[in-house]
Amino acid sequence: MTKRTLLFFIFHFSFLILFAQTISITTDHTQLVLQVNSQKRLCQTYLGERLSGQTDLSGLSMPQAGLSSSCIRGLEAYPVMGTEDYYEPTFEIRHADGNPTSVLKYQQHSQQGDLTSIVLRDEVYPVEVTLYYKVFPKEDIIQQWAEIRHEEKGKVYLGRYASSMLYFEAPNYYLNEFASDWAKEMQMLDQELKFGKKVVDSRLGTRANLMAQPFFEVGLGGPVRENEGTVLMGTLGWTGNFRFTFEVDNQHVLRVVSGINHDASSYLLRKNDVFRTADFFFTLSQNGLGEGSRRFQRWMMNHQLHKAKDDRMTLLNNWENTYFDFNEEKLVALFGEAKDLGVDLFLLDDGWFGNKYPRKDDHAGLGDWQVTKDKLPQGVPYLVKKAKENGVAFGIWIEPEMVNPKSELAEKHPDWLIQLPSRDTYYFRNQMVLDLCNPKVQDFVFGVVDDLMQENPEIKFMKWDCNSPITNIYSPYLKENQGNLYVDYVRGLYKVLDRVQEKYPDLYMMMCSGGGGRSDVVGLRYFTEFWCSDNTDPIERLFIQWGYSHFMPAKAMCAHVTEWNRRASIKFRVDVAFQGKLGFDIGLKGLSNDDRQYCREAIKEYKRLKEVVWSPNLYRLVSPYEGQHCVVQRVDDSKSKSVVFAYDIHPRYGETILPTRLMGLDAEAKYRVKEICLMPGKQSWLPCNDKVYTGDYLMKVGIKVTSTNDLASHIIEVVKE
């Protein structure tokens, strides 16, 4: 070999040796492999079931983008806008000189414990992006986010700042999304993803969801199924605008981009400030949605949900019972009802505040968090005291981010309101949103909680409502940087919630947003629970709870017994709410003695069984989407106790009732099956009642727990002998 040929080889291949980096990110069952290619681009080469050998990782490759659509020979982990790739990008930046492009090249990476970080840099502009991958091995969840920083002088705007790009290669792809509206949360809808893009996103500002939910599922190789098949389940942890893009490209590769919605959010990033994207969380289950849901619920319980290991309080809420029409006398009587029922807490809802503009309905008073003197002359301290005398804790409703134009707050601080200076204001529920980008407003919002707690340290619970999206998008505080509004609003909210959590770590809080409009997994770092929906019709709730159970733990899902759908018996309504975090929002005086007795006994049973009901080991056995029945089962970690919830909605005449096969039990063990929560004086007629079976039998043959009766329900306890 001549010296010249040798130099040629050294020159060309040292580059490869230098940059042929392989980065492997693994959980117990999943593996993501990234590789740096010869152009110093970081590419995904594998995402799937965990491989047993680590030696052949460098030989992995995924289909390359077609030459006509990309010059990068590989699937870039964080593709940029405007240079060599024409698919949906994750990142876009407008430099101080107006140039809207960048090229991100691998610099270095580190892997410490569960965290991998990979630094990418533009070699022309001083812009750095660090990609983070955090694994939760046992729960098989991967968390992804990016941090963006630059050292340019002048104004630099981020046009796109996704959290994650993932690629998949399968014969076909089916998206299961959760379409929504007020009182119609988490309705499952599936469709095949073919060539091109499908976007699921929201632009509500104050919350992630109303019409679309920040959760998705993709069946890789077939429609999603409960217990079979490969399925990707993902969610964005961001209490604001989100966007998922699913793009099937020319090579039939599925590209999934997840992040904050960049619409109307060109973000001014100052020199050396770090822009941290939202967190994206995903799992890749090889055994269908059921396994993915158990992973997500376990992860929420182990790592995410605020006070996940602590107990929860059953409660009586007055909203649907009194609405705004209450006074001291009425409330004290309700404390007595709460005591009689046996719940832990009374929750006072909307309508307790405002003096110049008393909160008689939803047209006035929001923002003026002083108790209405005419209505409650002795103030909140008296209510806390009276609740205590009745043996129940006291909780209170607030909506501190919002303001009615008819309020003293709006009169005093017009500059604190998000509103357009030059246009008519559009009101959603007669209210407006406070400008949480402004630190003074953050202080005010924190003060709403702080003042109540200072005056009433014994308040145990707050329901934090948020009934309006941002409607008139202009922040007086941000002035010419309006592109930062949607992002900084959410960051402002998190700053307030950080302060609340730090000062009041024992306070339980319900996240609510005119129903289930706020139900993201990062919100639940601050809140102990969330309101799933204003729709408490038990039939609708079967569907709504079914949907949320794909990601959310039962302990966090507030489920109240109300007057909605009185065709359903009180037993049916309680039995549906029993699946979540049980509460009541109903006038007890209107109930028969038997119904009231049923509620009391059910609460006792709930308290006895709550650890099993809240277990992440959920098995959705019979889907309400597929017929007129719904059966779900929870099993504790030791497989010694299980609870089965069975519901008949409107079965067809003469329908054949099949046995339901249980899951998750110990096949070798023997279990006694017993129906609990029966109406006073009633016996169980289930053929399996009080019988002993092996786990094997229960899982292979099953038991009949459904019926041909309209709106019937059964709660069945299965206990190891």
Decide: is 536 part of the binding site for ligand DGJ (CB under 6 A).
no
Task: Give all strands of the β-sheet with 691-694 in edge-to-edge order.
Answer: 618-622, 629-635, 641-648, 712-720, 670-676, 691-694
Judged by CB under 6 A, which stretch of 99-107, 375-383, 509-517, 608-616 contacts ligand DGJ? 509-517
Judged by CB under 6 A, which stretch of 102-110, 448-456, 510-518, 695-703 contacts ligand DGJ? 510-518
Minimum distance of ligand DGJ from residue 509's CB (angstroms): 13
Smallest CA-to-CA distance from 178 within 191, 163, 188 is with: 188
Amino acid present at 670: K
Decide: is 528 part of the binding site for ligand DGJ (CB under 6 A).
no
**DSSP string for 604-631:** HHHHHHHHHHT-S-EEEEE-TTSSSEEE
Minimum distance of ligand DGJ from residue 538's CB (angstroms): 17
Decide: is 583 part of the binding site for ligand DGJ (CB under 6 A).
no
d(CA 694, CA 671): 6
Distance of CA 683 to the CA centre of its chain: 40
Tokens describing residue 30: 């999943």
Decide: is 461 part of the binding site for ligand DGJ (CB under 6 A).
no
Judged by CB under 6 A, which stretch of 97-105, 124-132, 182-190, 512-520 contacts ligand DGJ? 512-520
d(CA 136, CA 546): 25
Nearer to ligand DGJ, 512 or 612 (CB): 512
Tokens describing residue 359: 């909160």
d(CA 375, CA 518): 30
Decide: is 527 part of the binding site for ligand DGJ (CB under 6 A).
no
Nearer to ligand DGJ, 215 or 531 (CB): 531
Among 202, 206, 419, 467, binds ligand DGJ (CB under 6 A): 467
d(CA 708, CA 711): 9
H-helix or E-strand spanning residue 385: helix 379-389
Minimum distance of ligand DGJ from residue 466's CB (angstroms): 9
Decide: is 564 part of the binding site for ligand DGJ (CB under 6 A).
no
d(CA 33, CA 23): 6
Interface size with ligand DGJ, residues (CB under 6 A): 11
Decide: is 553 part of the binding site for ligand DGJ (CB under 6 A).
no
Among 136, 161, 319, 584, binds ligand DGJ (CB under 6 A): 319
Nearer to ligand DGJ, 102 or 180 (CB): 180
Binders of ligand DGJ among 649-688, rule CB under 6 A? none
Nearer to ligand DGJ, 79 or 514 (CB): 514
CA torsion through residues 590, 593, 598, 604, sign = positive
Minimum distance of ligand DGJ from residue 516's CB (angstroms): 8
Decide: is 350 part of the binding site for ligand DGJ (CB under 6 A).
yes
Minimum distance of ligand DGJ from residue 453's CB (angstroms): 20
685 phi/psi in degrees, rounded to 5: -105, 5
Nearer to ligand DGJ, 484 or 535 (CB): 535
- Which residues on neighbouring strands pair with residue 91, listed in sequence order? 80, 161
Judged by CB under 6 A, which stretch of 108-116, 135-143, 386-394, 507-515 contacts ligand DGJ? 507-515
Among 85, 139, 177, 465, binds ligand DGJ (CB under 6 A): 465
Tokens describing residue 229: 């098949």
Nearer to ligand DGJ, 295 or 359 (CB): 359
CA torsion through residues 708, 713, 719, 721, sign = negative
**DSSP string for 44-83:** EEEEEEPPS-STTGGG---PPPPTTTBSSSS-BSS-BSSS
Minimum distance of ligand DGJ from residue 531's CB (angstroms): 6
Judged by CB under 6 A, which stretch of 15-23, 158-166, 508-516, 539-547 contacts ligand DGJ? 508-516
d(CA 23, CA 115): 12
Decide: is 514 part of the binding site for ligand DGJ (CB under 6 A).
yes
d(CA 285, CA 221): 13
Decide: is 488 part of the binding site for ligand DGJ (CB under 6 A).
no
| Long-range residue pairs from 409-414, CB within 8 A, at least 24 positions apart, any chain | 409/366, 409/367, 409/368, 410/367
Nearer to ligand DGJ, 350 or 636 (CB): 350
Minimum distance of ligand DGJ from residue 228's CB (angstroms): 37
Nearer to ligand DGJ, 226 or 350 (CB): 350
Decide: is 397 part of the binding site for ligand DGJ (CB under 6 A).
yes
Minimum distance of ligand DGJ from residue 525's CB (angstroms): 21
Decide: is 540 part of the binding site for ligand DGJ (CB under 6 A).
no
Decide: is 531 part of the binding site for ligand DGJ (CB under 6 A).
yes
Judged by CB under 6 A, which stretch of 279-287, 511-519, 611-619, 678-686 contacts ligand DGJ? 511-519
Nearer to ligand DGJ, 234 or 395 (CB): 395
Nearer to ligand DGJ, 319 or 416 (CB): 319
Decide: is 515 part of the binding site for ligand DGJ (CB under 6 A).
yes
Minimum distance of ligand DGJ from residue 331's CB (angstroms): 16
Q: What dihedral angle (degrees, nearest 10) is formed by the CA atoms of 157, 162, 163, 165?
A: -140
**What is the number of alpha carbons within 13 Å of residue 514 lying toward its C-beta?**
19
Nearer to ligand DGJ, 205 or 583 (CB): 583
Q: Is 337 helix (H, G, I), strand (E, B) or coil?
A: helix
**DSSP string for 261-291:** --TT--EEE-TT--EE--EEEEEEESBHHHH
Q: Using CB positions, name the residue nearest to ligand DGJ.
A: 350
Amino acid present at 224: V
Among 344, 534, 636, 717, binds ligand DGJ (CB under 6 A): 534
Decide: is 205 part of the binding site for ligand DGJ (CB under 6 A).
no
Decide: is 70 part of the binding site for ligand DGJ (CB under 6 A).
no
- Residue by residue, what is the 3-state secondary structure of 484-527? HHHHHHHHHHHHHHHHHHHHCCCCEEEECECCECCCCCCHHHCC
Nearer to ligand DGJ, 275 or 428 (CB): 428
Minimum distance of ligand DGJ from residue 324's CB (angstroms): 8
Nearer to ligand DGJ, 319 or 548 (CB): 319
- Name the pairing type of β-strands 393-398 and 459-464: parallel
Tokens describing residue 626: 């597929």
Tokens describing residue 469: 């999206």
Minimum distance of ligand DGJ from residue 249's CB (angstroms): 41
84 phi/psi in degrees, rounded to 5: -105, 0
Minimum distance of ligand DGJ from residue 305's CB (angstroms): 20
Minimum distance of ligand DGJ from residue 510's CB (angstroms): 9
Let me know: does 698 contact 671? Beta carbons within 8 Å: yes
Decide: is 346 part of the binding site for ligand DGJ (CB under 6 A).
no
482: exposed, middle or buried (C-beta count within 10 Å: 0-12, 13-18, 19+)?
middle
What is the per-residue burial (b if ≥16 Cβ within 10 Å, else e) of 682-721? eebebebbeeebbbebbbeebbebbbeeebbbbbbbbebe
Among 403, 512, 532, 677, binds ligand DGJ (CB under 6 A): 512
d(CA 697, CA 216): 35
Contacts to ligand DGJ by CB under 6 A: 319, 349-350, 397, 465, 467, 512, 514-515, 531, 534
